[in-house]
């Protein structure tokens, strides 16, 4: 019997290895999975089942388009009266990647800490007349979570229809530990709720790999929010960190329709409810002229839209490239692009947190420092609390704000959402904030890395082996 089970396990390992190799994925990710499965087969097979399988990506994309749920004309790029823009070719590349057009009738506001963002969002929610759509990765049962819950309940009692879409893994606390937290809201007839790819057995399912990391709020189809902040006290007051630095974007205008489109696609994916009705895309009420292009990334996209946008921004940089990221686990293409940009003479500056929130990911991120420094990239460690913002600024051409980290999971697995900003005012504001943050950071040098004990360098390199998996 023991011999038979061993032979069965051997056949299973060989079969899975053949499938992994046949997928033609990134060689680094393929090698990492093969190592784990061959040397620790039982654990490796389980991890691959939960985290490694990517069979849903093309199937989900084709299923959404086959369902014909999109409004008429949503797949065509609308005509633009801004044909002389320097960024036009970049905008067209992004459109071909994700079918989201650049829009130029918007008002924008950027928030770099949680308190002013939360206050403004609650003000907008209290002014809602028709509907409020919310989509978050994390919603905690704390003071901040209660403030939002109570504001939404008040609007539901006034007749506003509210739809809430949450990731069950990210919201595991209210899913399993504080089940009654949202109950006063969810029992109201004007509130619709769904988990995104829910876990039927707590924490364990094949779809655990495809998490919805998007942060979207759309109010009456006119005002929308996106960025890196979830709902919880730590995003407002810092939690276990002294402060929390992040980035959130408020939009009034055409780009709110783009975020509405992404939300409704996600809502359809979770509930199969078709809400593509003109009532959710009202005429824009703004005189703003800011340029915004929404970029969704994930299994519902044909291409790796956000990864391609980041790659193009790095390659387009001529003078300066500013990057703020809490995690740094780039694939080979992005790593090569960053090093090549620095070697071309571009002033590449990378701002990274000095204190980790996920230690193993931090070790893996640190393993990339030395080769980036050798190429001429300048790396700074932010020391004033935790740095959670995901920002990239390419000269005065384009800037990016959103939910996507500079790592494998954000770029190739999770459902993510970024906003590309084309207006000089927004780009300047993000650039100014970057240099303000540098006042609270220290520069990393090659000398200090070379003076690290061997075991720290080995620890970081070991963590890097699992880069495609974390």
Query: Residue 355 pLDDT more than 90?
Result: yes
Q: What is the pLDDT, as a whole number, of residue 61?
A: 52
pLDDT of residue 241: 86
Tens of pLDDT along 177-203? Answer: 898 999 999 999 999 999 987 655 544
Sole residue written with tokens 């070379």: 450
Q: At what angle do helices 2-22 and 27-39 cross, to 10 degrees?
A: 180
In this predicted structure, the answer to whether residue 390 has a pLDDT above a threshold of 50 is yes
Which among 309, 301, 303 has a CA at the least distance from the CA of 337?
309
Our answer to whether residue 257 is catalytic in this structure is no
- Whether 357 sits among the annotated catalytic residues: the reply is no
Q: Which residue has the tokens 């000269």?
A: 395
- Edge to edge, the sheet with strand 398-402 lists 292-297, 416-421, 398-402, 391-394, 320-324, 347-353, 378-382, 441-443
Distance of alpha carbon 150 from alpha carbon 152, whole angstroms: 5
Q: If pLDDT is split at 50, 70 and 90, which confidence band does 52 have? A: low
Q: What is the pLDDT of residue 302?
A: 87
Q: Which residues, in sequence order, are bridge partners of residue 348?
A: 321
Sign of CA dihedral 191, 179, 117, 430: negative
DSSP letter for each residue of 192-211: EEEEES--SBTTB-GGGGS-
Measured between alpha carbons, how far is 387 from 383 in angstroms, rounded to an integer?
9
Give CA–CA dist 314/188, Å, rounded.
48
Q: What is the pLDDT of residues 89-143, one digit of tens each?
A: 999 999 999 999 999 999 999 999 999 999 999 999 999 999 999 999 999 999 9
For the question of residue 161 being annotated catalytic, the response is no
- List residues bridging with 166 in a β-sheet: 136, 195
**pLDDT for the residue numbered 24:** 59
Options 167, 266, 390, 426, the catalytic residue: 390
Q: Indicate if 370 belongs to the active site.
A: no
H runs (alpha helix) in 238-386 = 254-271, 305-316, 332-343, 359-366, 369-375
Active site residue 390: yes
Q: Choose, from 124, 167, 220, 246, the residue flagged as catalytic.
A: 220
- From the centroid of its chain, how far is CA 171? 16
Q: Point out the catalytic residue in the list 124, 395, 407, 437.
A: 395
Buried b or exposed e, range 317-338, using 16+ CB within 10 angstroms: beebbbbbbbbbbbbebbbebb
Q: 443 by DSSP, 3-state: which?
A: strand
| Per-residue pLDDT at 307 | 97
Q: Which residue has the higher pLDDT, 68 or 345?
A: 345
User: Which of 57, 133, 155, 213 is an active site residue?
Assistant: 213
pLDDT band at residue 74 using 50, 70 and 90 as cut-offs? very low
pLDDT confidence of residue 33: 74
What CA–CA distance (Å, rounded) separates 449 from 142?
A: 40
Between CA 301 and CA 93 the distance in angstroms is 14
Higher pLDDT, 53 or 295: 295
CB 216 within 8 A of CB 84: no
191-196 sheet: strands from edge to edge: 106-111, 248-253, 223-227, 216-219, 131-136, 161-167, 191-196
pLDDT at 26: 65
Confidence class for position 414, pLDDT limits 50, 70, 90: very high
Strand 320-324 and strand 347-353: pairing? parallel
Chain Cα centroid distance, residue 154? 30
Range of lowest pLDDT (257-266, 278-287, 322-331, 441-450): 278-287
Which pLDDT score, from 0 to 100, does residue 58 have? 52
pTM here is 0.88
* pLDDT for residue 286 is more than 60: yes
Catalytic site residue from 133, 349, 388, 407: 388
Residue 206 has pLDDT above 60, yes or no: no
* Mean pLDDT computed over 323-341: 96
Predicted pLDDT of residue 57: 52
| Runs of H (alpha helix) within 210-253 | 233-237
Catalytic residue among 215, 257, 339, 349: 215
Model pLDDT, residue 465: 84
Residue 395 among the catalytic residues = yes
Q: What whole-number distance in Å separates Cα of residue 394 and Cα of residue 307?
A: 15
Looking only at the bridges linking them, the beta strands covering 191-196 and 248-253 are unpaired
Distance CA 332, CA 354 (A): 24
CA angle 201, 417, 222 (to 5 degrees): 110
Spatial contact of 101 and 286, defined as CB atoms under 8 Å apart: no
pLDDT confidence band for 30 (50 / 70 / 90): confident
pLDDT band at 454 (very low <50, low <70, confident <90, very high): very high
């Amino acid at each position: 019997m023991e011999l038979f089970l061993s032979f069965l396990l051997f056949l299973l390992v060989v079969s899975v290895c053949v499938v992994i190799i046949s997928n033609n994925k990134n060689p680094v990710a393929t090698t990492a999975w093969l190592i784990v499965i061959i040397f620790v087969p039982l654990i490796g097979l389980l991890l691959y089942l939960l985290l490694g399988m990517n069979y849903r990506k093309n199937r989900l994309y084709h299923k959404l388009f086959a369902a014909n749920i999109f409004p008429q004309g949503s797949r065509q790029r609308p005509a633009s009266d801004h044909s002389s823009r320097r960024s036009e070719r970049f905008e067209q590349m992004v459109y071909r990647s994700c079918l989201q057009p650049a829009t130029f009738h918007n008002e924008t506001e950027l928030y770099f800490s949680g308190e002013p963002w939360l206050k403004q969002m609650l003000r907008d929610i209290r002014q809602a007349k028709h509907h409020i759509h919310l989509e978050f990765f994390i919603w905690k049962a704390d003071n901040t979570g209660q403030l939002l819950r109570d504001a939404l309940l008040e609007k539901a009692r006034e007749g506003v229809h509210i739809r809430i879409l949450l990731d069950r893994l990210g919201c595991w606390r209210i899913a399993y530990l504080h089940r009654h937290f949202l109950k006063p809201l969810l029992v109201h007839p004007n509130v619709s709720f769904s988990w995104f790819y829910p876990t039927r057995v707590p924490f364990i399912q094949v779809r655990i790999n495809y998490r919805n990391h998007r942060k979207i709020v759309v109010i009456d189809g006119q005002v929308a929010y996106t960025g890196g902040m979830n709902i919880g006290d730590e995003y407002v007051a810092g939690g276990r960190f002294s402060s929390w630095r992040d980035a959130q974007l408020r939009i009034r205008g055409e780009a709110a329709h783009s975020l509405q489109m992404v939300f409704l696609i996600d809502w359809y994916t979770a509930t199969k409810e078709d809400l593509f009705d003109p009532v959710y895309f009202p005429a824009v009420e703004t005189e703003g002229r800011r340029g915004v292009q929404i970029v969704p990334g994930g299994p519902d996209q044909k291409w790796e839209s956000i990864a391609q946008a980041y790659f193009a921004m790095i390659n387009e940089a001529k003078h300066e490239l500013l990057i703020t990221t809490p995690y740094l686990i780039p694939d080979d293409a992005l790593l090569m692009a960053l090093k090549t940009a620095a070697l071309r003479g571009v002033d590449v500056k990378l701002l990274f947190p000095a204190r980790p929130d996920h230690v193993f990911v931090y070790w893996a991120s640190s393993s990339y420092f030395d080769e980036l420094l050798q190429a001429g990239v300048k790396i700074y460690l932010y020391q004033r609390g935790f740095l959670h913002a995901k920002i990239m600024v390419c000269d005065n051409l384009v800037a990016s704000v959103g939910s996507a980290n500079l790592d494998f999971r954000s770029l190739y697995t999770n459902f993510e959402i970024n906003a590309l900003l084309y207006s000089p005012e927004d780009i300047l504001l993000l650039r100014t904030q970057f240099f303000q943050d540098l006042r609270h950071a220290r520069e990393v040098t090659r000398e200090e890395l070379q003076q690290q004990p061997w075991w720290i360098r080995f620890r970081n390199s070991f963590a890097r082996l699992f880069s495609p998996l974390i």
